Chain A
Amino acid sequence: MAEEPTDVDLIRDVLAGRVERFDILVRRYQRLVATAALRMGTPRDEVEDVTSEVFYKVYKSLGRYRPEHALSTWLYRITINASLDRKRSMRHESRMEELSPSLADGRPSLESQASDLERSRLLQEALERIPGHYRSPLVLAHLEGMPLEEIARVLDLPEGTVKSRLFRARAMLRDIIQRHYPNLAPPGTLERPT
């Protein structure tokens, strides 16, 4: 059985002119990039656009890739920047308009429809309320399951800064859920944080 080519081998091939090899890299990482883009607050119908834009950027700057770090680290960095750029370009839109009326007026409406999908949508809304530079470490740590050291590398920040942003991001998330989505919190966890 033929051995799977490594990322570095593929990148070397693409740089040597075998562009069709980039196809393998896209197939290998498209799920990771698309999921990260979604978790960073990209609407589902725009995830494919952002993902293809990320891979196009990767292709254009492939010569700048440093093999001492994993390709996924670099991909996460480009995905986060692309998602935040998209968010910035849509900043003029009011946040309250994006919310459903039942949430905007503070009335709980989750008792009857606490499905995973609905919870995900509301959690996504809650995450979108956190400023980008706090949301990024939160997503990388608690959704992508990345260690602190790698998050620091992805965001190009010192580990101490990442740690303090994580503290703040978690506090913000708790505050947002307490105020706007109380039904999302596991029972009894808002009053006595663990």
Chain B
Amino acid sequence: MSREPGHTRRRSWWSLTRAGRAASDPGIRWTVEILGPLRRQTVECDITPRVMARIVAELGGLRSSVRSPRVSRLAWASSLLLACAALAFLGSTLLLLVLGGDEGVRQIVGLGFSGWHVLMVFGRLVAELGARVLTSVLPILRAGWAILEVAAPLLRGAGLLAAAGGVLSILFSTYVFASARKTAPRVDFQGGIR
């Protein structure tokens, strides 16, 4: 049975070196000459109707949701105009109601002022609380930062030591593994141990 030519792993180690590779390369001239008939071969086909039909069929489904940029611009501008008109209408109605001395509107305005006052008081309370918390926490943070600054060289040293330990451990494991492989019993294909 002939060997599968696509398999390259069975080649000898020298074929992977530059010299080995160059030796087995037949060169550009040879390749160009041998591939001549394939180079002269071209394909004449007309797939345009097929491709365009597929694209148009897909577009038919999308046409309803996708609009041209001009249409989208128009839609955007008209919705903005509509929003401005609605806002103007709402504002003028409110103004009319306030100026007309409507009872309901007067109550709503009063409620709005009370709500604003409550919000202000609440906001002030929250701000005071935040300031108090910050005043007590800041010295602790500052002290922590100072400790970190003092301990930085020590931490760096400890980190270096840990890294060196890691490297040594990897080297040692590699050594142990390599010697274990050398002395390990070999298993043959029949399942026996040699």
Contact = CB atoms under 8 A, between A and B. Distances in A.
Interface of A: 16-17, 19-20, 22-23, 26-27, 30-31, 34-35, 37-39, 44, 47-48, 51-52, 55-56, 59, 95, 106, 116-117, 119-120, 123-124, 127, 129-131, 138, 142-143, 145, 164, 167-168, 170-177, 179-180, 184-186, 189-190, 193-194
A176 B3 CA distance: 10
B45 interface: yes
Given A106-B2, A130-B6, A174 B30 contact: yes
Given A55-B51, A56-B55, A170 B45 contact: no
Contact of B38 (A51, A123, A186): A123
Interface string B26-52: 111111111101111111111110111
B52 A23 contact: yes
A34 B48 CA distance: 12
Contacts of B32: 142
Contacts of A31: 42-45
Given A20-B52, A172-B8, 7 more contacts: A19-B55, A30-B46, A34-B45, A52-B47, A52-B50, A120-B41, A189-B34
A193 B52 contact: no
B25 to A, nearest CB: 5
A52 B33 contact: no
A174 B51 contact: no
